[in-house]
Every structure is written in C-alpha cells, then in structure tokens.
C-alpha cells in the first residue's frame, strides 16, 4: 500500500572536523611552531571569541572575505588558515558527503560508522533522550514531540547536559536546525521544492509549524539554521528578513550561523524569478541575515554586487563574524587538534560494541506492533521449524539505514535476523521494487498466507534493525513503540500536497491534517502501538483541579479566552502544576512502555485541536510491577492554541487530561474582567514554518508454515 504522511520535521545536521586536507595548505590554524602565530590575536585563546573574530576579519582582503561565504571555504595560507568544508551529514550516524575535495570520507583507516535508526523510528520510542537526528525525515507530526526531540538532540551533540544550561562557548559539534521553513514537498505533479510557494495561515504557523524551531533555538541553543529552497507566502526563505533576522535572531535569540540549502541562493533568480539579476539575489539573502551559501553563487556574484552598490561590506563582515565564531567555538583556531579534547579519537572508538549495542536498543524500542490477532506473536522458538519471508526489503541492507547514511559497521537484514532463529526459511522478494510493478507477486503468493495475523512497522531501523525485528517476532523483546504519525487511508492521497492547512474545512470536504485536527477515517491513530503485555493507568489526585489565570481566587468563570502574552511570564510560571499517573503492567512479560499524556477541551470546534499531546515519557516495568510517572502541566503552554491572527490563547472552562481510557478534569478560571484589554488581539507574529515530508511504507510479510 501507499501511505501519505504529512508530518512535522526538524532537520538536524552536524558539522564535523575536516578529516582530510590538500597538501598545499596549512594542516590546521594557529600552529604554535609558526612564528607568526604569536602576532595573531585571533589565535590567542585567552581572548573572548568576539575579539578574536574581529581581529581575523580585519586582516582579510575583500577577495578573501568573499571566499569564506561558501560551503567549501578556501585556505588563506598567508594567515596559516586551512580550507574548511561546512557541508557534512550525520542524520543517524556519520554519512557520506559527495563531490567535495575535503571533509568526511570513508576511504582511509575508518571505512564505516554505526548506523542508528532513522528519526521516524527513533521518535516512535517516545523516549525523550534521542541519540541522532534529521530523519527519514521527521520525528513525526506532533509539534511537542518534534520540539523535544530537537532540544535533546542538539543538547547532546553540541556537548550540553540533558537538562541544558551547561553549554558555554565551546562546541564539541555544531547542530543545525533545518529546513527553515515549510519545506513541504519534493515534487508533486510538476511542482517541485525549488519553486514551491507554501501558503500558510498565521494560525497554523503559530501553533503547529513555529514551536519546534523555536524550541530548537531557545531551549536547545542550536548553533546553526538552514533556510530552505521554497517560498513562504511569496518570499524565499533565504531572503526573508522577518524569518531569519527578526524571528530567529531577534525574537528567539539565535546565536549562530545561517546557511542556505545547497544552491538555494541561485534558484531565487534562476528558477523562482524573484529578482531581476544574480546580484539582487546575493543582496537579498545577505541583508536578510543569511551567512553561508551552500554552493558557489556568493563566490561568483558578491564582488559584482558590491561594485553595483547592492551589498555593503558590513553585511559580509557580519556573516563572517557568525561563521568564524562557530569555527572558533569548535576549537579550530586553538592550535594542533591532536592536543584538543577530541583530538585523539581513533578507529577503536568507531563501530565500538557500546555504539552497536545502543543502535540495537534504539531499534528495539522504536519498532511498533500494529496488529496481533489471536496473539499470533511472539512465535514459539521451540515449535517453529520453517518460515516464508517475502518482500524486496527483507534482505536489503540499504533499506535498513534509509537515506543520507554512511556505510554501516555490521548490518543485519530482517532475513538474516530471522535466520538466526530458524534455519529453514523460504525467501522470495515478491517484487523487484517496493511499488510491486513486476510479475513476481504471483510467484510470491504461492508461498504466502492470505490471512495476515500480525503487522509490525519497523520504519528504517538502522544497521541492527534485522536483529531487533527478529527478537520481537520470537519474543526476546517486548515491542513498545508507538506511531509518531497518523496512518491515513489511501484516498487521502487525492488531497493536493500543496495544501498546507492544518484545520479542516467541512464546507469543502477538506478533513484537515494530523491527529490534532484531522476529521476523517484512520487506519491507525497517532500514538497507537500494541505490546505482548497489558498496561493500565490511574490518575493520582491533582494538587488542584482549578487554574486561576487572573491572580485572584474566584469560582466565577469569565467567558472567552486570554492571550498568553497578556498573562505574562510570572503568572504562567505560577500556574504550573504536577500531574502524576500510576502505570501498571498487568501481563506476564516485562516491557518498556511509552506513556502519552493528552489534553482535550470539553467543547470542540472554534478551530481548536481535537486533542493534543502535552507530555510523554518511558518506563520499564516488570510483569506485575507498577510505577508513578510525573509530568509538569503548564497551562500557558499545554492548554493553549492559536487564534486566527496567530496569537496564542488559553480558553476558559473545562479541559480533560487523558491517558489511555482514563481522564482527569481541570478547569481554567478567569476573572470577571471582560474589558477589551482582556481579549485584545496582539500584534501578528512573524511567519515561521517547518517542513513536511511524504513517507511511504510497504510492509514485509512473514508467514508461519
């Protein structure tokens, strides 16, 4: 079957130290054996980075400055500065980067890297401690999950603590949130990602697309952002001053560099026709706040843009300040890298057993059991003597790791994983490709049972995915993953991919998108997932079941809503309250269980979400064991939604917390003050979006014989 999944994305990449250098340039900056190093303030680690960067930029000629504005920054030998390749990939393991002369490659002593599950499967674990990011290509459709995933990923990879707040100037790696923003499609009926103009309402921007990027920057302290190819309401992302400078830097306090997607600057002129000449494209992106061109457009046209007085040198200096600040935070101007904290990482620390075990654990925790009629699974290891395994992906190591991947250390396909349990396996690909366009299906059906009793969704589980899948099928691991997406029926593919609306429109038959707004049939719901055991839930009594958002204790509820901005930070902080849920494993098998806390309003409609996730966590429970899971409910964040003009508001009245089939009521109370000030509209927030991705899944059939 073909599955259409429009889901939120935070794209994450990492900048890694250059692994190879041409022999005609310095091996590293600020070499202590070079007598000139002592005269360079940019090499003095005792000085603040701002002063070091100012000194470096002041020494550059205009041509040298321009050469640093592109992803393959050339060397500056007279200052002892080697070339630098900004483009590297680390979605779920260090990956290839093609067509570059320097950067990450696997043709030396290190020829592979641990391949973790793609984000779509890692997110299905609903574990707030992810290990890798970017995706295939999304942590799911929910803005809370996406934001939390981004924050944990960025903190971990950059060297911060899990809780945050311990990251100083130094970076062990620089994490980049992308693609900023509303990067919704690749190619749909002749409309491609390069020319797509995403029309998005302020309401959807404010409570769906905006929050994950904001979390990535404000809470995660990401040091990089990539602007996407497409336009937002007519304006190219990389040329949008409101998006890059006012929102990311101004409102969210972003402190880092902003790069284009590769060749995104060129398409502003070449394909979108947004400007009259190449120099206008250069001027627009630099004045908007972009710093780095993944490509060569700025290298080719910045000089002429200056000559035509379309670009000021001060805009270039600002960009260089942001770029060299990152390189200095990474320690690339601190002298010999072998003497730095991460300078002696050897091949024994790549593909280590610790990393391989972690990849296996991540795959186990993300795989989702969707159907298990008559408890067909797990299979009895002592009774099964033969299996039929059908599907083109059953023996494909490439499919395991998904896209943007490097060579895995020791990939185990599903077929290989099953062969470790059952020796007599009859395998047939069924189709040449997943779209089943060949005639091999009839041959495969001769060895396949029509009555499918169990379905497992494994996403792209990484190099250990085949082993994890086999362990689940034969009961050595209890599945606990949950779908991070809504599984729509086939007929949803009739809805144009260019339609960005979240909210439904009953008059036209548009059903909306994602579990928060979609009004239509579902194959499987967001958060759905079965286990080999049964769990029950119980809300412990709340410390208070009424939240007063007026600094007064009054049982009289005012009509309407209040804007979060109007209530202020102090009141929002004071209104937070703990929510505790007791989870019981009632079955006979130990398991790791994802606990998802939702909230819904008593009255739906008014373009409010049907329900929305406000918290999630994981708990390991032995058979018969129970545990208490604590959440913090923030009414200003978790009970809020967006008005049509984009302002975030909290509605008065009853809200219901829910986990499984259990609910607990909490009431929001306002004062009697219904003046204009209490319901005034705030200034419309600048436009911010985040990217959507189409995800298709073809199940692999495993038949018991």
Q: CB of 597 within 8 A of CB of 631?
A: yes
Indicate the average pLDDT of the chain.
Answer: 86
Strands 197-198, 174-180: pairing kind: unpaired
pLDDT in tens, 636-693: 999 999 999 999 999 999 999 999 999 999 999 986 444 343 333 333 333 333 222 2
pLDDT in tens, 566-580: 899 999 999 999 999
Cis-peptide, bond into residue 328, ω within 30° of zero: no
List of domains in the chain? 41-342 (3.20.20.300), 353-485 (3.40.50.1700), 534-669 (2.60.40.10)
Strands 701-704, 84-85: pairing kind: unpaired
What span, in angstroms and rounded, lies between the C-alpha atoms of 377 and 475?
8
Q: Residues 127, 261, 280, 284: which is the catalytic one?
A: 261
- Selected residue with higher pLDDT from 597 and 683: 597
pTM: 0.87
Which pLDDT score is estimated for 603? 79
pLDDT in tens, 506-521: 999 999 999 999 999 9
pLDDT bracket for residue 697 (50, 70, 90):
very low
Mark whether 261 is an active-site residue: yes
Q: CB of 663 within 8 A of CB of 656?
A: yes
In the structure encoding, which two tokens stand for residue 245, read together?
């400078």
Burial 547-586 (b: 16+ CB within 10 A, else e): bbbbeeeeeebbeebbbbbbbeeebbeebebebebebebe
pLDDT in tens, 118-131: 778 788 887 767 43
Contacts of residues 183-190 at CB distance under 8 Å and 24 or more positions apart, as own/partner, are: 183/9, 183/11, 183/228, 183/229, 183/230, 183/690, 183/691, 183/692, 184/6, 184/230, 184/497, 184/498, 184/500, 184/691, 184/692, 185/497, 185/498, 185/692, 185/694, 186/694, 188/496, 188/497, 188/498, 189/497
Q: With 90 as the cut, is the pLDDT of residue 187 above it?
A: no
Which pLDDT score is estimated for 188? 84
């Amino acid at each position: 079957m073909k599955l259409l999944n429009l889901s939120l994305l935070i794209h994450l990449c990492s900048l890694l130290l250059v692994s190879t250098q041409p022999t005609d340039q310095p091996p590293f900056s600020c070499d202590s054996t070079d007598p000139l190093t002592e005269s360079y303030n940019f090499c003095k680690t005792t000085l603040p980075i701002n002063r070091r960067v100012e000194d470096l930029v002041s020494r550059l000629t205009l041509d040298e400055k321009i050469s640093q504005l592109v992803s393959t920054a050339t060397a500056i030998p007279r200052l002892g500065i080697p070339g630098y390749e900004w483009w590297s990939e680390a979605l779920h393991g260090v990956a290839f980067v093609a067509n570059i002369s320097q950067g990450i490659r696997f043709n030396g002593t290190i020829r592979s890297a641990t391949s973790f599950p793609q984000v779509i499967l890692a997110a299905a674990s609903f574990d707030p401690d992810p290990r890798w990011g970017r995706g295939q290509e999304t942590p799911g459709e929910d803005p809370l999950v996406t934001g939390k995933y981004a924050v944990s990923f960025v903190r971990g990879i950059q060297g911060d603590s899990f809780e945050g707040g311990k990251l100083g100037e130094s970076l062990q790696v620089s994490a980049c949130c992308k693609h900023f923003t509303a990067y919704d499609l690749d190619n749909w009926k002749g409309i491609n990602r390069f020319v797509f103009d995403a029309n998005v309402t302020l309401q959807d921007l404010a409570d769906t697309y905006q929050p994950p990027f904001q979390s990535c920057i404000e809470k995660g302290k990401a040091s990089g952002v990539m602007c996407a190819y497409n336009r937002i309401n007519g304006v190219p992302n990389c040329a949008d001053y409101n998006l890059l400078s006012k929102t990311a830097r101004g409102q969210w306090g972003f402190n880092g560099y902003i790069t284009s997607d590769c060749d995104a600057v060129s398409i502003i002129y070449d394909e979108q026709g947004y400007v009259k000449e190449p120099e206008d494209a250069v001027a627009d992106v630099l004045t908007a706040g972009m710093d780095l061109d993944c490509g060569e457009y700025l290298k080719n046209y910045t000089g002429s843009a200056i000559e035509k007085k379309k670009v000021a040198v001060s805009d270039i200096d600002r960009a260089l300040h942001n770029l060299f600040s990152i390189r200095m935070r990474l320690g690339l101007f601190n002298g010999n890298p072998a003497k730095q904290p991460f300078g002696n990482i050897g091949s024994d620390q790549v593909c280590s057993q610790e990393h391989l075990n972690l990849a296996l654990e991540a795959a186990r925790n993300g795989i989702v059991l969707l159907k298990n009629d008559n408890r067909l699974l797990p299979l009895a290891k002592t009774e099964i003597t033969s299996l039929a395994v059908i599907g083109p992906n059953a023996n494909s190591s490439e499919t395991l790791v998904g896209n943007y991947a490097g060579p895995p250390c020791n990939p185990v396909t599903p077929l290989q994983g099953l062969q470790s349990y059952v020796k007599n396996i009859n395998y047939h690909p069924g189709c040449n490709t997943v779209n089943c366009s060949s005639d091999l299906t009839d041959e495969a059906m001769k060895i396949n049972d029509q009555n499918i009793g169990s379905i497992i969704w494994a996403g792209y589980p990484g190099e250990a995915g085949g082993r994890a899948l086999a362990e689940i099928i034969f009961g050595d691991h209890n599945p606990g993953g949950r779908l991070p997406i809504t599984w729509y029926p086939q007929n949803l593919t009739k809805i144009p991919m260019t339609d960005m609306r979240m909210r439904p429109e009953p008059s036209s038959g548009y059903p909306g998108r994602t579990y928060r707004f979609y009004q239509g049939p579902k194959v499987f719901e967001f958060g759905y997932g079965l286990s080999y055991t049964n769990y029950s839930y119980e809300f412990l009594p709340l410390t208070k079941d009424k939240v007063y958002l007026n600094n007064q204790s009054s049982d009289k509820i005012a009509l309407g809503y209040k804007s979060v901005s109007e209530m202020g930070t102090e009141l929002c902080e004071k209104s937070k309250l703990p929510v505790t849920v007791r989870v019981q494993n009632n079955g006979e098998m130990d398991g790791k269980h994802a606990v998802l806390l939702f909230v819904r309003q008593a009255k739906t409609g008014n373009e409010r979400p049907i329900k929305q996730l406000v918290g999630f966590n994981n708990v390991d429970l032995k058979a018969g064991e129970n545990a208490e899971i604590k959440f913090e409910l923030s009414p200003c964040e978790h009970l809020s939604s967006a008005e049509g003009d984009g302002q975030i508001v909290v509605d008065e009245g009853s809200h219901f917390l829910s986990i499984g089939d259990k609910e607990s009521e909490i009431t929001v109370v306002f004062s009697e003050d219904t003046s204009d000030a209490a319901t005034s509209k705030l200034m419309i927030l600048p436009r911010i979006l985040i990217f959507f991705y189409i995800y298709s899944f073809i199940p692999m059939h495993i038949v018991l014989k």
